[in-house]
Every structure is written in structure tokens, then in C-alpha cells.
Amino acid sequence: MAANTPTTEPTALIAGDTAKWLKTLTDYPASEGWTLSYSLVSAANRINFSATASGDIYLVAVPAATTTAWVSGSYEWRAQVSKSGEVFTVATGSIVVQPSFGSAVDNRSHARKALTNIEAYLENAGNLSAASYEIAGRKLQRINLPELLALRDKYKGEVDREEVAANVGRGLPDRRRIMVRFGA
């Protein structure tokens, strides 16, 4: 049994998946020669694609082979209809393009990356040998150990909160909460 085609634009899409939905615009029916196009814009990328007419409505179908090349990130989108030189914006929104599972993308949060880097720095005792030094008039100062340990603790707390939120989002219990029951 085939899945029903959505009738609204998605709020998230995984790169490498097919993007498909129907769009009904009663004021601009496809059967009267209107064309529908979408533009997705982020700080660094722009993606354009068009819908095809399906009677009075529009079918948006972007193949997986095309979305594979989409760069992950948050995009603002705009849908516009056009006919005979006239152009009208009919909808706007936002969408998150998530990386495909097979792509090499570091999806770790800032806190997790910082914690990993701090712990790696602390593991190498050579990193801690000189707090500051000067060579040929250029001075380099490293963060002192107590400040570094405080940063590690701060980021460890953030990572722990992220993990708890992710577990709660998946329906798992908050491991910080201890449940007790008193019997008679």
C-alpha cells in the first residue's frame, strides 16, 4: 500500500531522501498555466526547484539523487507562482536539511566538541608544561589548569543535560531522577 502524499511543505528533510508533497493554490490553479517554484536559502547556499501541474494542484517531487547534494543546515524557503511575467509569493517557511546517514558530518554539539578537546588536551601532560612563553617578541599564553578544569566541568554539565534531554525525548527515564515507592 502506497503512503499518502503530504499536502504541506516539510519542516525537516534528510539529504538523500525524496522530497514530495502536493500544494493546492485555489487562487492560482495549475490548470490555468501558473507555475510553482521554490527557493531555499541559507547563509551559504541556495536551492531552487519547481513543481509540476497535476490538474488544478501542484506536485512537488524532488528525487533523492538531487537532494543528496543538498548541504545540511537551516533554510528559509519561499514558494512563488508565476504566469505571463507576473510573480506572486504564496507561502514562506523554514526547513532543516539534515545530513544523510552516510555523510561524514560531525553532528556533535558545541559542548561535546569542547569537552572532547579539553579532555584530549588534559591527557597530554606536555600540553601543561608551559603556561606562557615568548619567542621573537611574540607571546603565547595558555589557559591555566584551574580555569581549564572549570571549563571541563562546565561542558561536562552541558553534555550531561543534552544526554538527559535526548533520552527523555526518546521516552527513556531521566537517569538523574531516583524514583522511590513507599509501601505499607
Cβ-contact 134, 50 below 8 angstroms:
no
106-151 per-position pLDDT tens digit: 667 888 988 988 888 888 766 665 556 677 778 767 777 888 889 9
pTM: 0.60
Confidence (pLDDT) at 127: 64
**Residue ranges of the chain whose pLDDT lies below 50:** 1
Q: Give me Rg for the CA atoms of the chain.
A: 26
DSSP category for residue 42: -
**Residue 131: per-residue pLDDT:** 59
What confidence score (pLDDT) does residue 23 get?
96
Structural domains of the chain in order of their starting residue, each with its CATH number: 12-98 (2.60.40.10), 110-166 (no CATH)
Q: What pLDDT score was predicted for residue 2?
A: 59
Q: Is 81 exposed, middle or buried (0-12, 13-18, 19+ CB in 10 A)?
A: buried
